[in-house]
Chain A
Amino acid sequence: MTLKKLAVTFALGSMALVTVGATSMRAQSHVNSPDVALGTPSVDSTESHIGAVTGHAAEGKKLYRRFCIGCHGPDGNGLGMNAAWIDPKPRDFTEATFKCRSTPTGTLPTDDDLYDAITRGFVTTNMPSWRPLTPQQRADLVAFVKTWSPRWAKEKSGTPLNIPAETPITIESILHGRQLFQKLECWKCHGPQGHGDGPSASTLTDSKDNPIRPYDFSSGSRFMCGVTNQDLYRIFMTGLDGSPMPSFADVVKPEEAWDLVHFLRTLQPLKSQEADLWQTYKAAHGADIKPIGPDAAAGGQ
């Protein structure tokens, strides 16, 4: 057989085999994720703006197909083929409800919020950090995520929360934060010791009626929405939309919020200034400290 004849055979064989393959696949009841055609976005086109980088939804669509579709699904509703095995469930972008925001509860996040979420990932979930993607790629993904809900065409992002300078870390601040933890009934979900085992913990569901567990401070891991005291401040002042975690912006004053931050840090098994102060205080006044919970009328010390 000459090489020329071989090439003809090769070409014809190639066509025949792929045709057979295509016919076979047509009969299948499922296809792989990148092959799934994306659903129709609710917003025709959009951009994102992350500093000097402008993200484009058209580019983000290609990246979404490659990286995100397996969990968030071809329609952006969190029903990707892997979703059944994931807990907590992937975000439903069609609702445009996001946990980690710098904006008030009920409002849309900023582009930076979405960019930070993609970059950081969510440590307690299956969502990895996408920092290995270039800034342009992450900005493109932000732009595309915003196409899934009509809210992005009708509403503007909320105004980012102004976080005042952190107050000094003192034992008084920690003790006041502890009182707030009792008064605001944080313990009902997070538990008296912050183990995520409060009396309401087992009943909690998210906005999609999926069971959801409150954060266990004793796990020592990073928070879902960041690692710093500012991030923790932001979490309970904006709330985690779509979850039972409300915003406390209307009931907690900024300086009180820092007190709560300082107390929450003592619940983590981490080396911190807050933890050192608390341990010293406990050693000296252990007998005077009243337990947190339903029996503590005002969260006494």
Chain B
Amino acid sequence: MSKWFANGADRNLGSRARTLFTCALLILAAVICDCRAVSALPATKAMAIPAFARKYGLPCSACHTAWPELNNFGQVFRDNGYQLMNDRDSPIWQNPSYFPITFRITPNWHRESTSNQPVDSIPGDGTSATVSHNVTQAGFDLSGMDLWSAGTLYKNISFQLLPSSDPTAVWHFESAWVRFDNIKGSPWLNLKVGRFELDNLVSEKRFLFLSNNGGIYQIYHFNVPGSINDFGYGDNQIGVELMGHSANSYTRYSISLLSSNEGGVGLTNSVTPGGNPSSRSFDGNLAFSQAFNAGSWGLERVGAFAYIGQRPTFYQTSGGTQLVGLGNEPFYRVGFAGDFFFKNLELLPLFMHGHDNAYLGNGIASNSGPLPSTSRAPSFNGGFLEAHYYVSPQLVFLGRFEKINVGQQADIGNPGNFGNVTAYSVGYRYYPIMFSRAGLAWHNEYSISKSIGIVPLSGDGTGLPPLPLPNSQNVWSSSVFIGFDFDF
């Protein structure tokens, strides 16, 4: 047994590592068996009925490395406003019976387990002492559902409408926008208005992970413990975006002006009822990327981004009812990312630095006078490295490592590692069906995160921080996800 495993403080971690290793071997065995089963399929050449082909006649693998992730051809198609820039872009070329709509949902079995959760020592007795315990749940389940419609209203006017529901069919508008493409005939001028995903080089909306813990980029949703900032870089925002790109989208930029309300609707900070009223201020996002041709390796892209925003720290009220967000205090997120291909291997690194104003970071109303001497402006650094290995257009192996360190705690009394996050995800997706109208992916994923003293960003567990408070208890949260991800 290695010294690392024998270390008493890390005994639990060592046990997990061994278990992880066993899991990895078994998953590998399963994959090998899967591949053998698949290879037994006959190589028939009969045809199917594609719907998207009614407009363009392309297989989905033309636009996706592995759906929903875009390759550069798909990126150019998207940047052009869902147009191939030939004479077939206007809806007039579509079959009258064709409606540009698709839905996506994932029946699955998953298991979620979270350690060090505060629970009643006597189940069912809310008056009993609170103790730390694992909370584990497993079973068959459904994901939320996306009802996605996108395309062109006319040549050079595109749109997207994405009503999305949670598994219990509570709906909201995940995105809805109209875009004026190639203004004055230039790909460098495209104007989008509505609710949309920020122009992220590494998109969380089109990535390949689905489990509770792995299905988010931790860094895209992280805020330092104690902060009342609700911003998530991966969340759709609402506003207007000016975007441009070169003909092959090797060079891309975007400038966005956004309401300071985390993409909320109804002038609140939420897309569902019950949100706080938003303030009257605006945020800005800048993104730029440049791709380089690396010969037989493929296309290599690097990019940088900066989000500068503000959030209210108190509200105008009437009888205690919040009316308008006031006392805006600033924050920013800056970073860089890449998308590197080495033939069939794709690496996606991202680094982000975040900073919140001290009032925002400590949840203190900015009209309440000077800050306590223990309050500071919090900051954090983090990112991830994600890897995809494309065995074929139909089989991709996935892995990701994520790390977030709080650089400066909001409260000087907090332990230095309070809120730090480490996460690992592995899995694979196999696409037995890959029409341009329908897709089916067999998805297997294991993900585990360690967050120190806070609720896992996945939201798993009791939703309460570990005991005692404040503390530096490690909270391990793991997800196993097996499902059929389908899109029609």
User: Are A and B associated in one complex?
Assistant: yes
Interface residues of A (CB under 8 A from B): 1-4, 6-8, 10-15, 17-19, 21-22, 25-26, 29-37, 39, 59, 65-67, 69-71, 74-75, 79-86, 90, 121-137, 219, 221
- Bound together, the chains give a CA A122 to CA B56 distance in angstroms of 12
| Beta-carbon contact of A31 and B26 below 8 Å | no
Q: Which residues of A contact B129 (CB under 8 A)?
A: none
A185 to chain B, nearest CB (A): 27
Q: Which of A10, A79, A137 contacts B27 (CB 8 A)?
A: A10
13 more CB-based (< 8 A) A-B contacts, given A7-B23, A126-B88, A135-B293: A3-B19, A7-B19, A14-B27, A18-B37, A25-B41, A66-B61, A81-B435, A82-B53, A84-B47, A125-B88, A129-B86, A132-B76, A133-B73
A33 to chain B, nearest CB (A): 4
| Beta-carbon contact of B42 and A26 below 8 Å | yes
- Bound together, the chains give a CA A167 to CA B293 distance in angstroms of 39
- Bound together, the chains give a CA A31 to CA B45 distance in angstroms of 7
Q: Which of B236-244, B259-267, B426-434 sits within the interface?
A: B426-434
| Beta-carbon contact of A10 and B30 below 8 Å | yes
Q: Which of B46, B54, B85, B88 contacts A30 (CB 8 A)?
A: B46
| Beta-carbon contact of B293 and A32 below 8 Å | no
- Bound together, the chains give a CA A66 to CA B109 distance in angstroms of 31
B472 within 8 A of A: no
Chain B's closest residue to A134 (CB) is B293
Residues of B in contact with A, size category: 35 or more
B204 to chain A, nearest CB (A): 23
| Number of CB contacts from chain A to chain B under 8 A | 203
Q: Which of A11, A71, A129 contacts B84 (CB 8 A)?
A: A129
Q: Which of B34, B48, B138, B293 contacts A15 (CB 8 A)?
A: B34
| Beta-carbon contact of B59 and A70 below 8 Å | yes
Interface residues of B (CB under 8 A from A): 16, 19, 22-23, 26-27, 29-31, 33-34, 37-38, 40-50, 53-54, 56-59, 61-62, 72-73, 75-76, 84-88, 95, 109, 111, 113, 138, 247-249, 293-296, 298-299, 392-394, 430-436, 442, 444, 446, 478, 480, 482
| Beta-carbon contact of B27 and A85 below 8 Å | no
B37, B75, B87, B247: most-surrounded residue (chain A CB, <10 A):
B37
Ranked 8 nearest A-B pairs via Cβ: A37-B43, A82-B53, A81-B47, A82-B57, A70-B59, A11-B26, A128-B84, A14-B30
Q: Which residues of B contact A124 (CB under 8 A)?
A: 86-87
B179 to chain A, nearest CB (A): 19
